[in-house]
Amino acid sequence: MCAACGRQGAVCFTRRPPWMSFTLTKREPVLMNSVASTAVPPRVRMRNIAKRYGAIQSLRGVNLEVAPGEVLGLVGDNGAGKSTVSKVLSGAVIPDEGYIEIDGKRVHFENPGDARVHQIEMVYQDLSLCDTVDVAGNLFLGREPMRRICGVPVLDLAKMHLDAREMLDGLGIRIPNTRLDVENLSGGQRQAIAISRAVSFDPKVLIMDEPTAALAVAEVEAVLDLVRTVSARGVSVILISHRLQDLFLVCDRISVMYEGQNVADRPIGETNLQEIVDLIVGHKFNARSARPTIEN
């Protein structure tokens, strides 16, 4: 319950930040060291996570830590295991080995519902939206507001659209009509809806798998601002992306995966694009597409 507005946390946006400021500056980094020095456990600690699919060893002892409010960039080549490790954390995949701790306590997830109880939300690579359902319907899928007419429960459509509008406005997302079917929206708007839905569950940890992969420049910036917004609220964000330049704008730290293992972990101020590219491909790599486009 929010003390300021009296609403449940899931739809409370009283603490709404200024949105769309579009100042593409780097954030002050959240340091894992400061967590260690005050003996506060990390929000997420994954240890020795292994997962095999038949002949494919997808994960080989992955370790991952994220502090409260930290933005961790998770990178690696295609098939490195990024989606698999994030699905383990979101409860969609059960690991063969290893364990997860949330705020220092061991947890065991059998499904995404278990992870949601611990306020872990994931925006999947394919977004998992219902294309033929409207914006409000997607935001409230499975928890639609109801009202009673002559004792019979019916869908409270007016409330659902009002709450959807409040939710989108609170995150500064510009979608003119919550009655539009999601299939008619742009890639950026669809991504924003998937993120809003995840944020509306009031997560402590938000995992985003390739949120900017198919977006135009302005839409990418909107999603990056959304990352800044939620991390400023103390949400730990794990951001998987092949768009490395985006990571340098919002991440505190980058963790590199290679063939199912973590091979490096770098605070953002202590690395650069070229080093991350080299770590991703596993050797010194010199390609024009890998040359830095921003100053690090």
Looking at beta carbons only, is 19 or 258 nearer to ligand ATP? 258
User: Which tokens go with 149?
Assistant: 């007419």
Task: Tell me the C-alpha distance between 121 and 90, whole Å.
Answer: 6
Evaluated on CA atoms 229, 235, 241, 247, the torsion sign reads: positive
CB 278 within 8 A of CB 285: yes
C-alpha angle 52/53/55, rounded to 5°? 90
**Which of 12, 67, 80, 199 contacts ligand ATP by CB under 6 A?**
80
**Which of 42, 68, 69, 81 contacts ligand ATP by CB under 6 A?**
81
- Residue 178 near which of Mg ion, ligand ATP, none (CB within 5-8 Å, type-dependent): none
Minimum CB distance to Mg ion, residue 181 (Å): 27
Q: Where in 48-77 is the site for ligand ATP (CB under 6 A)? A: 53, 56, 58, 76
Minimum CB distance to Mg ion, residue 208 (Å): 11
Site size toward ligand ATP (CB under 6 A) is 11
Task: Tell me the C-alpha distance between 151 and 133, whole Å.
Answer: 27
Minimum CB distance to Mg ion, residue 81 (Å): 9
- 223 Cβ neighbours under 8 A, 6+ residues apart: 188, 191, 192, 195, 211, 212, 215
Minimum CB distance to ligand ATP, residue 106 (Å): 24
Task: Tell me the C-alpha distance between 156 and 148, whole Å.
Answer: 9
Minimum CB distance to Mg ion, residue 164 (Å): 29
Span near ligand ATP by CB under 6 A; candidates 60-68, 80-88, 155-163, 165-173: 80-88
Looking at beta carbons only, is 134 or 209 nearer to Mg ion? 209
Looking at beta carbons only, is 53 or 99 nearer to ligand ATP? 53
Minimum CB distance to ligand ATP, residue 58 (Å): 3
**Which of 33, 78, 132, 293 contacts ligand ATP by CB under 6 A?**
78
Q: Report how far Cα 105 is from the mean position of its chain's Cα atoms.
A: 21
Q: Does 38 bind ligand ATP (CB under 6 A)?
A: no
Q: Where in 61-100 is the site for Mg ion (CB under 5 A)? A: 83
Minimum CB distance to ligand ATP, residue 122 (Å): 13
CB 172 within 8 A of CB 20: yes
**Own/partner long-range contacts of 279-288 (Cβ < 8 Å, ≥24 apart):** 280/75, 280/76, 280/77, 280/80, 280/256, 281/77, 282/258
- Residue 191 near which of Mg ion, ligand ATP, none (CB within 5-8 Å, type-dependent): none
Evaluated on CA atoms 252, 22, 239, 230, the torsion sign reads: positive
Q: Does 79 bind ligand ATP (CB under 6 A)?
A: yes
Q: Interface residues with ligand ATP (CB under 6 A)?
A: 53, 56, 58, 76, 78-84
